[in-house]
Structures are given as structure tokens and as C-alpha cells.
Amino acid sequence: MPGWLEIGGGLILAGAVAQTAISLIGNARGRLNRSRRDAADAEFFRRRAALMLRAAEVERDKQLLSWTGLRKFTVTLKEEEAKDVVSFYLEPHDRKPLPPFDPGQFLTFQLRIPDQPKPVIRCYSLSETPLEREYYRVTIKRLDPPPNEPSAPRGVSSNFFHEALAVGDTVDVRAPGGVFTLDMTSERPVALIAGGVGITPLLSMVNTIAASGDDRETWLFYGVLGGSGHAMRAHFADLARDHPNIHIVTFYSDPEPDDRLGEHYDYEGRCRVEIVREVLGVQNYDFYICGPPPMIATVIADLEEWGVPGERIHSEAFSAKTIQSAPLPAAAKAAGEAAAIEVCFDRSGKTVDWRPDAGALLDLAEAHGVRLDFGCRSGSCGTCLTAIKSGEVDYLHRPGSPPEAGSCLACIAVPSGPLVLDA
């Protein structure tokens, strides 16, 4: 029988052995955790480096391959995507390589259309990923007169594309432009919100995320009237099936008899933030919105009410007012708040007051019946270039290509003091 002394000694020895074992296990765990952390850090830096390198290559190719002025493109394919929505595949007539673009950018077309007194300028978003370097693709909805004005003329450019332009025809195109673009170096999750044909720039974004193997969480909320207007239904189903990080949520506001909830679409009614909130749960996403101006205004207001910071909300409207994606420059805001700034449209013989809520000079001109040509309304196509007779302007955001000295891009310019324009 062991005495108390032996038992006590045995316990002390066992305790020491256990303590050593615990400390060894602890050290080993610590080393394992450290090496896991090191591996995660290394992977993070490897991914960042790969993203930055890819972005630098894209910039280099843009510089090398972009063009100024107009370039001829041949229509190589027309593909119906939905009722009144057709994709046009375009290849450069000179067969030289195409520059890449940022997902979300658009092309500006200068069209010679019979019966039109002068060339018609229109912008169409690039709807395919820039990783596709053989062709550009635009997807265009044909516009009828508004229901309340059935005798008004049909959309000039969209009907020309759909009805007159055939495979083999050529069109004149300016290089890709636009600032409504997906940041390919970011790893923040994205929520894309589209109304109708506003799907096109978001389609380029989601296709690029899929094609580049980008695994950031991506949700596309897409609202249409009903099944016949649901463009690329099969393509979106494939994307969601093949990419676990990509999720598509579809809304039909006016379902047709054959449309089945849960099979063809997920929610009845308009695409709305109430559902976006329910689905996402948290708002740490970058939001990209494109569609008709009233839809954009509602979605932005609801996102802001939810608490999404303005810098994470990006939007592009296909028409109407200039998109104010940036705050007013401080000088213009201060000057405009202190007192209205006088803007003279010299050739039209009109002098009017500008205040910050009047928007860009193009919006101010239209509000006072002064006609200025425009294309993109976002500072990229150069159509609204207007000569300055005296005074200075600021810009709502950096122009796609800087205007000539002594002139301004009226769609994104605001006066920084009294201004006289040759308009």
C-alpha cells in the first residue's frame, strides 16, 4: 500500500506532467493559429496584388488601344433578348484590337438616320463583360410613343437600330465612357438593382464578376413588367446555378397569364428596397442602381432611410435629368447659397439665376427653354460642349475627357461665379 507521501509525490508528478502537456499543446495551438493567420494574410495580399495587377493591365490596354473621335463598327449579330429588346454585336471595321472598358460604361453612337436633319447622338451601355475582347455588345429597347401621347413620334434611334440596321451594316461609335462603373479592385459585396432595360450596365457587372472568378457576394434585383419583357432569363438562371456567390431576385409588376410565381419570378410588384432589406439583412454592400429616373429616386431615398451611406450608392439614369452622383463643388455651393449666380445664355438672349438645386448648366438651360445638344448627360460623350464667353465653371465630377480650353461640358458643369455662355 503506498503511503500518503508516495501518493502526494505521484499527484505532484502527474500535475507537472499535465501542466507541461497543456503548455506544449497550447504552444502548438498558438503556432497552428499563427501559421493559419499567416496563410490567411498571405492569401489576402496575393489576391490584392492580383487585383491591382489586373487593374493596371486594363488601364495600360485602355491607354494603348482607345481612340478619339468616331470609329466604324460592323453589326455582326442581332439577337432578340425579350419583347422589343435586341442585342447588337459590334466588331471594329478596321479589325484592330478593342480597348477594355470598365463594367457599367457605355458607347456613344453618332447615327445618320434618313429624315433626320442632323446626326442623332445616343448612348448605349455595354452589356457584356470587358473580358470579352473580340466584340462589343449593346442591348437596346425599342421605344413606342408614351401611352398618353399615342400620336407622338416613335423613338428615333431605338427604332432605327431595331428596324433599319442589319447584320453587315456599319455605325459610327465613340470610345467607351462613363463613370457608373464597378470597382474591380474592391472586395465589398455588391447589390445591383435594375428596372427594365436599366439591366444592361448591371448585366456587364454581374457577367464580369462571374467571368473573372470574383467570389464577392453579389445580388441582382431585377424588376420588369412581366415574362415577355424578362431579358436573358436563361442566362441569369445559369449564372445563379454555376456561381454560389451570385443570387438573382426577380420582380414582375404586371405578370402575364403564363407567368408563375416562384418559377419565373420571385416577387410580385415593383423592385423595392423593402424586399432588398429583407433579403440582404445588412446594408454593408455597394449598391448600383439603373432604371427609369423615378425608380432610381425612390430606391435611393429608401436606401438612405435604411442608413446606407451616400458614397456606397451609385446610380445611372438613361434619360431626363443629369445624374448628380457627386456633391456640388464647395465653391459653387457656397456662392450659390450666398446669392443666386447669374448665368447668361448669350445667343438665346436669356439671363437666369442659378442656385444649387438647379443642377448642371444643361438642366438650367432646359428649364428655361434654351436648347443644348446632349448625349450621355454624364460628361463622357462631348456632345454638350459649350463655349464660355466669360466666367468659370466647376464640375460635379471629373469629365471623361477634359473639354477644350474656353468651353465646358454643360451636362456636368455648374457656375463658380457669373457666367456667359455661347448658347
The gap between the terminal CA atoms of the chain, to the nearest Å, is 113
The CA angle 383-57-42, to the nearest 5 degrees, is 135
CB of 286 to ligand FAD, least distance (A): 19
Instruction: State yes or no: residue 377 binds ligand FAD (CB under 6 A).
Output: yes
The maximal CA–CA distance of the chain, rounded, in angstroms, is: 118
Residue nearer to ligand FES on the CB measure, 285 or 395: 395
Near ligand FAD by CB under 6 A: residue from 8, 9, 30, 145:
145
Query: DSSP assignment, residue 372?
Result: -
Cβ distance to ligand FES smaller for residue 200 or 380: 380
Minimum distance from CB of 396 to ligand FES (Å)? 11
154 near ligand FAD, rule: CB under 6 A: yes
- The verdict on 152 binding ligand FAD (CB under 6 A) reads yes
Q: CB–CB of 325/296 below 8 Å? A: no
Q: Which of 131, 143, 184, 211 binds ligand FAD (CB under 6 A)?
A: 143
- Does residue 249 interact with ligand FAD by CB under 6 A? no
- What's the half-sphere exposure (Cβ side, CA atoms, 13 Å) at 166? 2
CA 319, CA 196: separation in Å to the nearest integer?
A: 13
The amino acid present at 201, given as its one-letter code, is P
Return the number of the residue (139 or 250) whose C-beta is nearest ligand FAD.
139
H/E stretch holding 418 reads: none
Cα 304 from Cα 296, distance rounded (Å):
12
How far, in Å, CA of 76 to CA of 31, rounded? 60
**Residue 315 binds ligand FAD (CB under 6 A):** no
Residue 356's binding partner among ligand FAD, ligand FES, none (Cβ under 5 to 8 angstroms by kind) is: none
Binding site for ligand FES (CB under 6 A): 374-377, 379-384, 409, 411
Q: Going residue by residue from 96 to 125, which x/- string records binding to ligand FAD, judged by CB under 6 A?
A: ----------x---------------xxxx
φ, ψ (nearest 5 deg) of residue 153: -65, 150
CA dihedral sign of residues 268, 271, 272, 275 = positive
Q: How far is the CB of 92 from ligand FAD (least distance, A)?
A: 19
Which CB sits closer to ligand FES, 245 or 325? 325
Q: Which residues bind ligand FAD (CB under 6 A)?
A: 106, 122-125, 138-141, 143, 145-146, 149, 152-158, 178, 197, 200, 316, 318-319, 376-378
